[in-house]
Amino acid sequence: MMNTILYKYRSLDNFKFLVDIFLNKRLYAGDYKSMNDPMEGVYRFNKHKVSAEFRATILGDKRDLRFCSLSADADNKLLWAHYANGHNGISIGVLPQDIDDSDIRAMNYSPDPLKITEESEHVDARKVLSYKNEIWVYENEVRVFTMRDFVEVKIVEVIFGKRVSHSDKQMLKKLISTIDNQIAFRDEDESK
């Protein structure tokens, strides 16, 4: 997974945060409560078979854990529409740095929340936070888990959405190349 380029779709609207990504080579990692899905981190259990202590451990770990949501897809029309201001943004191709492979997880999509018991193998907050309702499957999401506020990344490429103006592209290319001249640029729908 560490050699797989993952993608962060971004609007150009909050320029300060956008520049921070390139200057500091990092992506923000939020907690599960700050995500756009209110069902984030929900799981099912039988209260007679799962102790309050076990549930409290999972809850505490979920509160402490942060993650960055990325996609395995470089060119996903719905992600362009939802997260890159209707194709008027960018998709940033990154390689997470200083992260164990076990902290990078592809999402599992299901019609039902994860069901756990104390006998469930390897149940922890990362596993709970790696399940989403199947309506989100189009995102092809990969999560990078951390205890920090940011995930360090190597930025490999920037893909411009179809609606990014020529002048904005030129300005961003110049700015980003000044920071790191190894980053490649291309347009949405353009092959590598």
Span 56-66, average pLDDT: 87
Query: pLDDT tier at 177 (50, 70, 90 boundaries)?
Result: very high
Sign of CA dihedral 103, 106, 112, 115: negative
The 10 Å Cβ neighbour count of residue 93 is 22
CA dist 102 and 105 (Å) reads: 7
* pLDDT of res. 118: 67
pLDDT tens digit sequence for 138-175: 999 999 999 999 999 999 999 999 999 999 999 999 99
| The pLDDT of residue 2 | 62
Rounded alpha-carbon distances, angstroms, from residue 66 to 69, 105, 147: 10, 13, 6
Contact 78, 138 (CB under 8 A): yes
Task: Assess contact for 33 and 157: CB atoms under 8 A.
Answer: no
Which residues partner with 66 through β-bridges?
146
pTM for the whole thing? Answer: 0.90
Query: Is the pLDDT confidence value at 182 over 90?
Result: yes
The pLDDT assigned to 30 comes to 92
- What pLDDT, on the 0 to 100 scale, is given for residue 190? 80
Say how many C-beta atoms besides its own lie within 10 A of residue 192's C-beta: 9
**Does residue 192 register a pLDDT over 70?**
no
DSSP H helices in the chain: 15-24, 52-64, 77-83, 125-128, 166-179
